[in-house]
Chains A and B, each alone.
Chain A
């Protein structure tokens, strides 16, 4: 009788562990682990010899430009004047040299589209820019 009870208890534990693992897998699979701040539609040009981006500066402003010339910061579409206001605010809060601005433009975008962002940065006091490129594609 006791043996039967022990068997039933151990059997319950196994199913519980099984269910816990199922729940873990469910949450892991459904959680979106991609960086939502970046637009997946922007296909960066390849630069194999560029310095790899190791860590992201919290002050960094990433300007994304898609192939149609749409300018976004943190996935929010901005006009030139709005972008100027964003950069100017960051510059006023610190020094221009301390505000890293990264331009993540689609390789198919024309220079005229990218120039808009560059000129806005220049007029806001940012003379040094970073051009983002794809160094190594994940499989």
Chain B
């Protein structure tokens, strides 16, 4: 009597579409929630004068040193009041002559920090890197 050979048949498992959609939505949810745009910060390099160095009135200003004043309500360059667009043009002109020119930024005590940052930003725009900050 011939024995009936028992064979094992393997079937590929059926894909549960509902569960797959569920997982896909969970992943989508996960990425939407976790994705946050990040703020990009900039660092503007400046120099401070040496404390022991006292600037006297008799000291002559070197020719390639430009003075930018930051007031509470505006700006001035070489003691001439001006707005930001004009200051930008002046700095562009200075950068055109020599990018190594020294920019001395003088801030009044009541001027805002944002005013100083605006001047530093214009210097960065015109690739002027030698910047010194004075306070008065």
- Identify the closest chain B residue to A21 (Cβ): B26
Residues of B within 8 A of A128 (CB): 45-48
Contact A108 B48 (CB under 8 A): no
Per-residue B-contact encoding for A28-49, CB less than 8 Å = 1, 0 else? 1100010000000000111111
Per-residue B-contact encoding for A7-24, CB less than 8 Å = 1, 0 else? 000100010011001101
- Among listed A70-78, A80-88, A117-125, interface-contacting one: A117-125
Q: Is A95 an interface residue (CB 8 A)?
A: no
Dominant SS among interface residues on chain B: mixed
Q: How far is the CA of A66 from the CA of B85 in the complex (A)?
A: 28
Contact A110 B112 (CB under 8 A): yes
Q: Is B77 an interface residue (CB 8 A)?
A: no
B contact residues, total (Cβ < 8 Å)? 47
Contact A139 B43 (CB under 8 A): no
Residues of A within 8 A of B47 (CB): 127-129
- Identify the closest chain A residue to B118 (Cβ): A45
Name the one of B13, B44, B45, B117 contacting A10, with C-beta atoms under 8 angstroms. Answer: B13
Q: How far is the CA of A65 from the CA of B114 in the complex (A)?
A: 13
Q: How far is the CA of A68 from the CA of B108 in the complex (A)?
A: 17
Name the one of A46, A48, A113, A132 contacting B43, with C-beta atoms under 8 angstroms. Answer: A132
Residues of chain B from 15 to 39 with CB closer than 8 A to chain A in the complex:
16, 19, 22-23, 26-27, 29-30, 33-34, 36-39
Most B Cβ at <10 Å: residue of A122, A127, A133: A133
Contact A49 B135 (CB under 8 A): no
Residues of chain A from 102 to 137 with CB closer than 8 A to chain B in the complex:
102, 105-115, 118-119, 121-123, 126-137
A contact residues, total (Cβ < 8 Å)? 53
Residues of B within 8 A of A17 (CB): 19, 23
Q: Is A58 an interface residue (CB 8 A)?
A: no
Q: How far is the CA of A87 from the CA of B52 in the complex (A)?
A: 19
Contact B41 A134 (CB under 8 A): yes
Residues of A within 8 A of B27 (CB): 21
Residues of B within 8 A of A119 (CB): 135
Most A Cβ at <10 Å: residue of B33, B43, B118: B43
- Identify the closest chain B residue to A60 (Cβ): B43
Most A Cβ at <10 Å: residue of B23, B37, B39: B39
Contact A53 B48 (CB under 8 A): no
Q: A45-B118, A46-B121, A138-B36 are in contact. List 4 more A-B contacts (CB 8 A).
A: A28-B34, A29-B34, A114-B113, A132-B41
8 closest cross-chain pairs (CB), A and B: A50-B42, A138-B37, A107-B114, A45-B117, A47-B121, A49-B125, A136-B40, A45-B114
